[in-house]
Amino acid sequence: AQSVSQHNHHVILSEAASLELGCNYSYGGTVNLFWYVQYPGQHLQLLLKYFSGDPLVKGIKGFEAEFIKSKFSFNLRKPSVQWSDTAEYFCAVKRSSYKLIFGSGTRLLVRP
């Protein structure tokens, strides 16, 4: 079945620690890739997106993600997290058919 997998459901880090959240998908062919963030009590907002070109994508708030086509992965990274990064993070994949699938999310808690 077509799917988007986020293997880390809960992550707890201390401030200044480095972050990497995994995202894998099971489609072949051309895809567009996204990371969204949902802060407590707020709505989804886009962190970054990949459509083509440089597989290392930089987004807002110091986040970046790397598309590795051979591994069907689009992992999210941040070198030094802050308490304000506490949120739920969602990876999403869009196929050429316009089907847009989200992963189950990763809840990040950053301790001050």
Where along the sequence are the contacts to another protein (CB under 8 A)? 6, 9, 32, 34, 43-44, 46, 49, 90, 92, 94, 98-105
Q: Which residues pair with 32 in a beta bridge?
A: 94
| Cβ 21 to another protein shortest distance, Å | 13
103 or 110: CB nearest another protein: 103
9 or 79: CB nearest another protein: 9
CA 21 to chain CA centroid, nearest Å: 6
10 or 80: CB nearest another protein: 10
Angstrom distance (rounded) from CA 22 to CA 5: 8
Angstrom distance (rounded) from CA 64 to CA 26: 21
